[in-house]
Structure 1
Amino acid sequence: EAERIKQCKGRVHALKDEPHVPRVWLPNENSPGLAMTRAFGDFCLKDYGVIAVPEITHRQLTSRDQFIVLATDGVWEVLSNQEVVNIVSSAPSPAAAARIVVESAVSAWKRKFPTSKVDDCAVVCLYLNEEDNNGQPS
């Protein structure tokens, strides 16, 4: 991924306070600092190697799998996979799960990056069975 960005004249490096998060930057500007190399609608970096073609992996679902969460980068930048699982698992209803994840992400943004604008946070929770997480029919 990083090699593709560099071949397209983009830059990849992490911020000092987040050394574990490589980001994509314009060739001659310290912006935008996108924390992924594949994104829908990122027109600013599309000429510098950021692509919308998804990386696809397959995972066999099991009876233990309860839901799938689709979320924008604004959510994943501030909440871990486990934090999202915990939020969705404890949500009072499927209808509330996505809203609570978004609210948690927005709160985390304000706490972690108080001087930055909150990135877009959108979530879809897809439940894989006909009962919600409290054992009630959905």
Structure 2
Amino acid sequence: MFMYPNVKPGLPSEAERIRNCNGRVAALNHEPHIQRVWLPHDDTPGLAMSRAFGDFILKDHGIIAIPDIKYHRLTPDDQFIILATDGVWDVVSNDQVASIVWEAESEQEAARLVVEAATTAWKNKSPTAKVDDCSVVCLFLQKKHHVVAVDT
């Protein structure tokens, strides 16, 4: 099981690129664990990612749309692939997602359950905060084998 980290402005290489483009990287006082990208002389927009499509405000200040690509050769032991937005990975651990998906009967059910877990986690984290986008795609690489009890 593995998860590639989200490309965030708190990563040293990302922060350096942003600062080299006159963007600012800083966290808000009430959420010091979340680094955000800000305009050079304005406290907006506070984007919590360093790579994004269509961000016209920060594109000249270090936000890029070039993906950070990693490769993983699939093995016979790999059970499933999960693609999810940062709204999921920011509040639900890799182990939690794997447990949810492992127990699900179908890819659709797995995706729904992971979204529900992430949405609940956002609401529990801060009831007054906005829930981030939580999108998930699940792909089972192997057929699920279920134990069937038979009475004789």
Aligned to 2:112: 99
Aligned to 1:8: 21
Task: Quote the offset at 1:57 in angstroms.
Answer: 1.2
Task: Quote the offset at 1:19 in angstroms.
Answer: 4.2
After superposition, the Cα gap between the structure-2 partners of 1:103 and 1:43, relative to the gap in structure 1 and judged at 3 Å, is farther
After superposition, the Cα gap between the structure-2 partners of 1:81 and 1:34, relative to the gap in structure 1 and judged at 3 Å, is farther
Aligned to 1:73: 86
Separation in structure 1 between the aligned mates of residue 70 and residue 135 of structure 2, nearest angstrom: 22
Task: Quote the offset at 1:96 in angstroms.
Answer: 0.2
Task: Quote the offset at 1:31 in angstroms.
Answer: 3.8
Task: Quote the offset at 1:41 in angstroms.
Answer: 3.5
* CA offset digits 1:6-59 (Å, max 9, x no partner): 122211123445544432223234344333212234344323211111111111
SS of the residue corresponding to residue 105 of structure 2 reads: coil
Compare CA radii of gyration and give the structure with the larger one. 2
Superposition TM-score, scaled by structure 1 size: 0.83
For 1:105-124, what aligned pairs fall within 5 Å after superposition? 105-124=118-137
SS of the residue corresponding to residue 98 of structure 2 reads: helix
Name the amino acid aligned to 1:36: M
- Note the residue ranges of structure 2 that are not aligned, 5 or more in a row: 1-13, 147-152
Separation in structure 1 between the aligned mates of residue 69 and residue 130 of structure 2, nearest angstrom: 31
Superposition TM-score, scaled by structure 2 size: 0.76
SS of the residue corresponding to residue 131 of structure 2 reads: coil
Aligned to 2:6: none
Q: Which 4+ runs in 1 deviate beyond 6 A?
A: none
Task: Quote the offset at 1:128 in angstroms.
Answer: 1.6
For 1:20-31, what aligned pairs fall within 5 Å after superposition? 20-31=33-44
Separation in structure 2 between the aligned mates of residue 33 and residue 76 of structure 1, nearest angstrom: 19
Separation in structure 2 between the aligned mates of residue 105 and residue 32 of structure 1, nearest angstrom: 24
Q: What is the identity percentage for the equivalent residue pairs of Structure 1 and Structure 2?
A: 62
